[in-house]
Structure formats: structure tokens, C-alpha cells
Amino acid sequence: MPRQSRSHLEQKAGVTEQDLIGTAKGIIRSYLKGERGRLSAEPLISEFVRVTSEEHPNPKRMGCPANTLHTQMVSSQGTDETILKHLEECGPCLRDYVEFLDVACRQNK
């Protein structure tokens, strides 16, 4: 039996790959903003951290904000869009921030 084309599968499912990517990004961003718990998005977050770390290793931490900024973000009501963009493009900062979120979440329990 021949394989169905991707566009046919997308049509059959009623969503496109871009729709799915957009939804995943929304879930990850809501976690990074502190609006969603890690457990509700664990597989997405773990994969996002892995891929970001591989694609954006940034060993010299070029353009990275101070660690105190991460702490402020965890405790504040909102997360600056510039910082979110940086987290999406810097593996070390993303790993640090996720660790800060995990610690903050444990402390709030």
C-alpha cells in the first residue's frame, strides 16, 4: 500500500504541522511564564531543552542576562518577551531557567 502524502494526513487530522508546532510553542511559553506546571507539559519541555541545547549551545554565554534576572523572572508576574526569545535561542540559559522554575515550584508546595 503506498504511503499517504503528509498533506493528505494533515487534511485527514484536520491540523497542519505548523498548527501543532504553534500549539507546542504556546504550551512551552506558558510554562516559561509560570502559567503552567511542568508536569502538564513534561515531554515537550524536556525535548525543547534538549533540542535548544544542541542547536544553540552558546558555550561563551554571549548575550546572556545575569543569573539574577532569571531569579527575578521566576518570582515576577510576567516574563519579558526579549528574555523569552533569548531562552528559546540559548541552551545554557534555558537549562538554568528551567532549573530555577523547578526549584521555585518545589518551594511553593
Question: Each residue of 41-80: pLDDT tens digit?
Answer: 888 999 999 999 999 999 998 888 776 666 556 555 556 7
Which structural domain range is residue 37 located in?
Answer: 6-107
* Helix and strand totals (H; E) in the chain: 6, 0
Answer yes or no: is 88 within a domain.
yes
Cβ neighbors of 73 (< 8 A, separation 6 or more) are 79, 80, 83, 97, 100
Where is pLDDT greater, at 13 or 44?
44
Q: Which of 24-33, 78-87, 91-100 has the lowest mean pLDDT?
A: 78-87
On the question of pLDDT at 104 being above 70, the answer is: yes
Answer yes or no: is 80 within a domain.
yes
The three grid cell numbers given for residue 68, joined into one nine-digit string: 539574577
Answer yes or no: is 65 within a domain.
yes
Answer yes or no: is 1 within a domain.
no
Answer yes or no: is 48 within a domain.
yes
**Whole-model pTM above 0.75?**
no
Q: Report yes or no: 79 and 63 within 8 Å, Cβ to Cβ.
A: no
DSSP-derived secondary structure for 64-98: PPPHHHHHHHHHSS---HHHHHHHHT-HHHHHHHH
Domain count of the chain?
1
Q: What is the band of 1 on the pLDDT scale with cuts at 50, 70, 90?
A: very low
